[in-house]
Amino acid sequence: MATGTLRTFVCSFSIIFLFKLNGFFCQQFSVSFQQPSDCGVDSYFDISSLSCVKCGPNQVSSKSGLACECQTGFRVLVSNGASITCQQCPDANQGVTQDGYGCIPCSGSVGENGKCQCPKGSVLVERDGNGNPLNESRCEACNATEPAFSAPDRTGNRCVRCEDSFINSSQACVCGTSNIQAGGMCFPSNGLPTSVVPNVIFSKLANSVLSAWFSNFMYSSAAACLLFSNRTACQSLGNMCVMNMHSFSTINNDACGLYNTVYRATAAQGSSQDVSYWRANLPWLYYGDQLGLASRIIQNEPLPVGFSFKGAQKNTDIELQAAVYSVRGEFLRWESVGGGNLQLCPDTLTRQQSAFTFGTAYKQSCVLSVSELLNGYPEPVFYDVFLVIQKPQEDKHLLAVPLLNINQQFNGQFTNEGSNMNNWLLTRRLMLVDTLSGRQNSLSSSPGVIRVASNIKIGFQLVPNTQKGQVYPPLMTVTYSDIPVTDPTTQTVTVSFSLEYTMDQEEARVKTDIALGVLGGVAVVHSLLKTASWKRRIASPLIDLQTIMKFLVFYAGDLANVFFIITVGTGLYWLIFFKAQLFVSVLLPLPAQEERFVVYVGCAFALKTVQFLHKLFVQLSVDIFFIDWERPRGKASKHVEGSGEAKSQASSVSIWRTYFVANEWNEIQTIRKINPTFQVIAVLFFLEVVGFSNLALRDPSSDLRRSPEAYTPPYSLILRYGVTSAMWLCIGLIQMIFFTVFHERFVEDKIRQFVDLCSISNISVLLLSHRCFGYYIHGRSVHGHADTNMDEMNTNLKREAENLCGQRGLLPNSDTQTFQISITNRLRVKYDRIIEPINRRSGPSRLVDASANPCEQSTKAYHTMNRFLGSVIDHAHREMDYIVKDKLLFERLIGMEFIEPLDKSIFYNDDSHSFADVFFYGNEAVLLIFDTLFFCVVDLGSQNFILAAVLTYLQQLVFRLIRNGMGRRNLASKTLVDKRFLI
């Protein structure tokens, strides 16, 4: 009993201890998130505990929310720096002193804030000259007449001299009855409207906001500018017009209307800096108010300095200076543009400064939080941007950079949105972030709408036909986004800053169209010749639908070559002339101008795909037969059942030589003059590892290596295609040259080895790629027999090496073993008749003779075809005889035979082994261009060389498997060789 109780106590204690221990080790040390706005009126935010703490008795939270202060009518009794004690003033007619520590009887009234209040024109006095508290506060009236002309200052604590406009209007500190008081100044009646429109137009939101800033300062700024030529007021008025997007309208009493009223009224004052649009004392905001001036301003006269990419006169620096003004019109400073003053996106100084290297297509974009903008830009700052012109041994000059404000309106129309330069209205001065004009109730309230320069672009245009790097003055384009502020912590805005360089591309476009037209016409003629040759080779005189389709396929291949030549030439042209130029004479096309080029590349790839698939289909449907010349050497006796006697018959010929030749043919179907795997790896190595891809960047640098800290501009699609295609073609051509000159001569030539194998095996190959055209490989052994033992074979090869036997050629005393053949229609009909039973067996089931044995049919057809073709080669059929001749040079050039074989077939000597045209080997140009285009198209679509390399390798692998598999099947069906022996 006692033992059980003790055990229970120990277990309970252990469980409780483990819970306590677990809680100790699992404590998260977390606190709740609070901020000053969460604390309310009777609590303050303790910056030490990061939490809200309740204020003491008779206390409320201060405006900052970080401390407590006494309620209205209470004074500070005790303060130790950390906390205060408040006490109510004993008399209702007493007010709290200005310092908050005492109570004093008021000679006037007690204000809403619990402090003594004096009438207008008086200041409150609570202490004597020695600082001793008075028994009662006094209201001392400021002497508003001569000679004092004083009035209370803004705080009401002391008398100061009145503003001059008051004195001038009434010889006192009051505004005359016929004058207008606004913005702390007194103005006489003038030509300005007495009622203004203090609205800010947020056109993208289709609404306007009554701005507290405009209400307080717009009229006074305009009047002070017009009447007193106050430069700060003029700048402030100009800033309000900029905040209203420079918009023109029929309303003359909005910000820009008042500016233009002052502009017209001050014409007699003359201009500043000899600029007719820049009125004296006024900010320069417009390049006139007439449409059609933009082209004369931008393209009237080039800059007096030129740009150069290389050499001793290298000049790629773009130096911009900006005059910076506050929203109140105060001149703040001169700033060198760069390092982020016009770039809202944060980045390193090195990368931001890269924007001002001529020829570098710079673009920086990011997403910014609205709360960050509200905190970072409480008031807008305004910039007048100038381009610094520095000639050798001359003073520095500034050239004004015109501004194209996309948000600007002219009588309610967005004239700057289109591409028609004659409709543009160019302006000056820009701001980045405006969080001030959208404040409606008061200047201290939160803005309902903010305006952000979401897209700033500086563009340079090259002077046509320049050889000295001359450009027109730059144009700065700015687009603003209007953002209604609902939840600043979650709202974002996307901003960007870019520089682009353009030139007139019309001449290049015309030249491209001319080249396309001329080469396209040549392609039509070449395709017609191919079609005519094809018609002759199939012995068909009719022009039917098949002929038209064949012409279209031929034309697709030739037109693909045209597009490929033009695109590669264009890519290399821009690569060489842009990257290697000394003085700037050409600039890269913009991304939007590259779309046509990309379409050309897509057309080349699509048409080349059609040609490649057609070639593949033709290769997979050729007719081929192996002619076995081997004859039995003797007779063998065969016992006949039932008769008891033996009969003699010719001994059989081994089929293994045919199988061996068929296997070799099957193996060489997909060999190429290059190594596709090495091709992909080498191209990827030079582009990514060596760094040739850096040549495709949109900047003038030709360096293959870049610093990781440096800015990396975007790629030019034209340069990227030019570099990639040139790299692919160069490596491919180098491989082909190496394969032809070295590998085939000193290592291995599989095509010629196959011809030698045919001679050793005593087997010829008849290949018909068209109905009446094909190739013949004469493999008849000069020794008569190939079914021999090793000793006899070695002896035969030795005799042939010592010229102790005849030559291998079809004709006597000739070594020519390969021929292009053009056969008669009669021979083709006989060929089809022999092979017909086999074709019928592989056709529809209703045409198959079910009683026939397939093996016997195949064997019979094979022997019949072997005897027939052998007899034709031996001239045993007079009606199907042939002649041997050489092709004319022009026939070889255009790929067409001039003589049609009517009575006799024609065997053309072919030392170039052109029978390889039915392999990948003979179509290396098509395959190389197809692989190049495939790689480039994938890369242009993905901007990823690695992905393009992987997909190109997979594509090569897939088509090689298709060619092997279907070629093996076609070989087995046409040669009557069982595919089980094709390994």
| The predicted structure's pLDDT at residue 242 | 95
Which alpha helices (H) appear in 620-694, and where do they start and end?
656-667, 676-684
Distance from C-alpha of 778 to C-alpha of 788, rounded to nearest angstrom:
20
What average pLDDT does the segment 500-529 reach?
93
The pLDDT of 415-440, averaged and rounded, is 91
The CA-atom distances, in angstroms, between 456 and each of 17, 343, 392, 851 are 67, 8, 31, 85
Q: Which residue has the higher pLDDT, 651 or 623?
A: 623
| pLDDT at residue 252, as a whole number | 67
The secondary element (H helix, E strand) that includes residue 522 is helix 506-537
Which residue did the predictor score with more confidence, 908 or 131?
908
> What pLDDT, in 10s, does the model give residues 157-170?
788 887 766 766 66
CA 66 to chain centroid, in Å, comes to: 50
Question: Which of 469, 521, 612 lies closest to 963, judged by CA?
Answer: 612
Task: Find the Cα–Cα–Cα–Cα dihedral 228, 231, 232, 238, rounded to 10°.
Answer: 100
641: pLDDT strictly greater than 80: no
pLDDT digits (tens, 9 = 90+) for 830-840: 999 988 876 66
Lowest-pLDDT range, 383-392, 452-461, 553-562, 608-617?
383-392
DSSP state of 685: I
Burial class (CB in 10 A: 0-12, 13-18, 19+), 614: middle
Written as one letter, the residue type at 6 is L
Question: What digits encode the pLDDT tens for the residues 192-237?
Answer: 766 788 888 887 777 788 999 998 888 888 888 888 888 888 999 9
Burial string for 248-281 (b: 16+ CB within 10 Å, else e) reads beeeebbbbbbbbbbbebbeeeeeeeeeebbbeb
**Predicted local confidence at residue 358, as pLDDT:** 93
Q: Which residues does 250 contact at the CB level (< 8 Å), separation at least 6?
A: 411
Span 233-250, average pLDDT? 89
Residue 608 pLDDT exceeds 90: yes
* Residue 639 clears pLDDT 50, i.e. is over it: yes
Separation of CA 338 from chain center: 25
* pLDDT (0 to 100) of residue 3: 46
More confident residue, 695 or 272: 695
DSSP 755-784: HHHHHHHTEEEEEESSSSEEEEE----TTS
The whole-number pLDDT of residue 16 equals 45
**What span, in angstroms and rounded, lies between the C-alpha atoms of 240 and 264?**
18
The one-letter amino acid code at 414 reads F
User: Parallel, antiparallel, or unpaired for β 492-502 and 773-777?
Assistant: unpaired
State pLDDT tens for residues 118-144: 888 788 888 887 888 888 888 888 877
**Contact (CB, 8 A) for 186 and 169:** yes
pLDDT at 573 over 90: yes
How much of the chain, in percent, has pLDDT values that exceed 90? 48
Half-sphere exposure of residue 101, counting CA atoms within 13 Å on the CB side?
4
- Between CA 673 and CA 638 the distance in angstroms is 52
**Cα distance between residue 840 and residue 837, in whole Å:** 5
Contact predicate 915/818, CB 8 Å: yes
- Residue closest to 438 by CA, chosen among 455, 453, 452: 452
Where do we find the tokens 């695109």? 567
Of 33-42, 313-322, 419-428, the range with the lowest mean pLDDT is 33-42
pLDDT(642) > 60: no
For 456-460, 532-536, 966-970, 974-978, which range has the lowest pLDDT when averaged over its residues?
A: 974-978
More confident site: 979 or 388: 388
Cα–Cα dist 450/435, whole Å = 5
Q: Rounded to an integer, what distance in angstroms lies between the CA atom of residue 241 and that of residue 249?
A: 12
Residue 350 phi, psi (nearest 5) = -65, -45
Global confidence as pTM: 0.79
Structure-derived torsion over alpha carbons of residues 796, 799, 800, 806, reported in degrees to the nearest 10: -100
**How much is the average pLDDT of 92-96?**
86
Q: How is residue 1 written in tokens?
A: 């009993």
Quote the pLDDT of residue 841: 56
Query: How far is 112 from 422, CA to CA, in rounded Å?
Result: 61
Please state, in angstroms and rounded to a whole number, the distance separating the CA atoms of residues 73 and 90.
9
Instruction: Extract the tokens encoding 407.
Output: 């948000």
Cα–Cα distance for residue pair 256/74, rounded to 1 Å: 50
Predicted confidence (pLDDT) at residue 145 exceeds the cutoff of 90 = no
Average pLDDT score, the chain: 86
pLDDT for res 184: 65
Distances (CA, A) of 581 to 54, 354, 467: 74, 20, 10
**In angstroms, rounded to a whole number, what is the distance separating the alpha carbons of residues 801 and 793?**
12
User: Please, which pLDDT band fits residue 963 given cuts at 50, 70 and 90?
Assistant: very high
Residue 844's pLDDT band (cuts 50, 70, 90):
low
- How many angstroms separate the CA atoms of 308 and 973, rounded? 68
Q: Give dist(CA 320, CA 306) in Å, integer.
A: 16
In the chain, the amino acid numbered 957 is L
Burial 469-482 (b: 16+ CB within 10 A, else e): bbbbbbbbbbbbbb
